[in-house]
A and B are shown apart, each in its own frame.
Chain A
Amino acid sequence: MKHTISVLLQNKPGVLSRVTGLFSGRGFNIDSLSVAETLEKDVSCLTLVTHGDEAIIEQITKQIHKLIDVIKVTDMVEHDHVEREMVLIRVKAESGSRAEVLRVIDIFRGKVVDVSPKSYVVEVTGSKTKVQAIIDILRPVGVQEIVRSGIIAITRGKKS
């Protein structure tokens, strides 16, 4: 089963390789990875998506937590949370297809962030399936290049 795991860690040199080295060394899988700083400048948040049975996921969270620079490990599956991924797509947009491409982008609530005579660069955020969907739909039009971010996740606010 897929798990999104959120890791708060000290923003120190080499800390990312401690996490990724743990995954390669112990044969765990990383499906996607995203890291950036948090509100606290010396703390980073690393969101990674992995998969495995319950025992493996338990080991993954325990082993990450064991790393000295790690502050907190949260398996998002245990929490009500929001996940987002972002994609930048350079899609062919020539006179005949520009309007059609814009319509698709609009449906997906995407944005055109760069315009050139023969292409657009489109920015879309959403769930993994939504991101995949717009790529699939634009593909016949002529997708030239895509760059996807890793998934990021945050827990929802308390209901009361």
Chain B
Amino acid sequence: MKMKGARALIKCLNEQGVKVVFGYPGGAVIELYDELLQAKDLIHILVRHEQAAVHAADAYGRVKGEVGVALVTSGPGATNAVTGIASAYCDSIPMVVFTGQVPTKLIGNDAFQEVDIVGITRPVTKHNYLVKRPEDLVPTIREAFYLARSGRPGPVLVDLPKDVIGATINFPETQPIKMRTYRPTYEPHSGQVEKACKMMLKAERPVLYIGGGVINANASEALTELAKKLDIPVTMTLMGLGGFPGSDALSLGMLGMHGTYFANMAVAHSDLLIAVGARFDDRVTGRIDAFAPQAKIIHIDIDPSSISKNVQVDVPIVADCRRALTAMNIWFDKSRDFDQKAVQEQHQVWQKRIKEWKVDHPLVYVEEEGVIKPQFVVRKLHELTGGDAIITTEVGQNQMWAAQFYLFNRPRHFMTSGGLGVMGYGFPAAIGAQIAAPDKTVIDIAGDGSIQMNIQELATAQQYKCPIKIAILNNKYLGMVRQWQELFYDKRYAHTAMDVAPDFVKLAEAYGAVGLRATKPSEVEPVIKEALKTKNTVIMDFVIAREEGVFPMVPAGKATTEMLLV
């Protein structure tokens, strides 16, 4: 079938099951947009800044468990998308980003709105392509989707010169994708699984340490089964939150720099650490030689390069997390050596010790008369949404308070820019999440600094009638940096005071959204209730304790047992 490149691209998107594209038009992609206008099965969400298109596609993909798609023009459109792409890369989020490009004969000519986006994004994409020949268009797009969603997922960029989109091509038949150079390992090695299971049987102080890989692989169920079967406490990375029910007795909450006291203590004293889809990031390990010093380490990860990168691993298992965990569950079910009662008995001392840690230093904050504490706001949000909302965050204190105090019981309900730490992620992500789950309550937990990084998306939220709730924890500071300055720079608050900010209530109204403000604790609940019943985008401006800190905190470079507590 002969058709124009632009139409072929849209046909490809249909073929891949894409329903929504987040984008922003421009000269190089004008042809594509012209086709989009006629595409029936495809919704285009017009953002107000290209970065937002990518974050929205990121969160859309996370909520749906699919590949998010963003479309931007050449030059500045493409460079604006880079932060979003890099964030998705750090967090292993499946995504395909299409960028316009100047016509092939102008490439390398410093043409108007030309950048070498393939060169720029090479280190922040799983893979990227410049489609130089029209006949390569369709196979490249198919390969891009395949790469984005398979193995360790990640963003794939496809750069589309204007003449390629405009050319007439023959639409090729679908063919199974076979890549000589790329064959991810999904099935775990049975010998390694057995070895790991035997270690788990013997362990007296085991801890499961789970990351975003559990969510990507839809492995929560298998993981929960394993944890309960073997009576093993579970701690989660920021990306792993929701991978195991946060309210379960076995949950230790988050570990690491702002992890719970009991999670960090448990890891530090464990004799067996079972890492699943996590990558021993520096925010998790603290001083590396003091991380789980007594523990043997089992590491399940689909990416071989994650294994023994930061911490030497005793039993590596390169596999899809779900399949590896399922194989373990089956092994225990069949094993004659496994006796659940015996295992529970074996862990009795350990579980008791963990309970003591939980009692000694629970996750707390200090109430102050007449002042709103941010943790209180997050707890109230949890309570009033029944813990069922999709939460996105910006980056900084707001992100950590959300991670600590909103107990996530299910996967795909928490979207945050974990690895790259992008301020300005949360709001566009909330738009992507709301488009993906129109019936869900979606809340962006934000700071007064980071919300301003993509505040223009209020227009997008309005245009597509997204009833997103934005909870600004407003301390008129770049709070996390201020906290570091307080603790490590003798309170020299160099440029962290956000003395001038818009009136967020009026700002919301200016966009046609609703603005609400709470200045004392008694107003928090009414404001949240009012917001939740409002069928419009709402900004809740919570004027919080200005110098509240995030605790526990492991100072950079310290061991995770050296926590500063409340």
Contacts and interface: CB of A to CB of B under 8 A. Distances in A.
A62 B316 CA distance: 14
Nearest to B303: A66
Given A14-B130, A59-B305, A70-B181, 10 more contacts: A13-B130, A14-B118, A17-B119, A21-B123, A59-B309, A66-B303, A68-B126, A68-B127, A68-B181, A71-B181
A16 to B, nearest CB: 11
B186 to A, nearest CB: 16
Listed from nearest, the 10 A-B pairs whose CB atoms lie closest are A62-B305, A68-B127, A25-B123, A71-B181, A66-B305, A63-B305, A62-B304, A68-B182, A21-B122, A21-B123
A65 interface: yes
B308 interface: yes
A95 to B, nearest CB: 51
A69 interface: yes
A18 interface: yes
26 contacts: A10-B181, A13-B130, A14-B118, A14-B119, A14-B122, A14-B130, A17-B122, A18-B122, A21-B122, A21-B123, A22-B123, A25-B123, A55-B312, A59-B305, A59-B309, A62-B304, A62-B305, A63-B305, A66-B303, A66-B304, A66-B305, A68-B179, A68-B181, A68-B182, A69-B181, A70-B181
B519 to A, nearest CB: 47
Interface residues of B, number: 19
Interface string B109-136: 0000000001100110011001010000
B78 to A, nearest CB: 16
A147 to B, nearest CB: 28
Contacts of B127: 68
B23 to A, nearest CB: 25
Nearest to A22: B123
A52 to B, nearest CB: 14
Interface string A52-85: 0001001100110110111100000000000000
Interface in B27-74: none
B180 interface: yes
Interface in A18-36: 18, 21-22, 25
Interface-centre pick from A59, A62, A65 (highest chain B CB count, 10 A)? A62
A66 B126 CA distance: 9
Contacts of A22: 123
Nearest to A62: B305
A68 B154 CA distance: 12
Contacts of A18: 122
Interface in B302-318: 303-305, 308-309, 312
A40 to B, nearest CB: 11
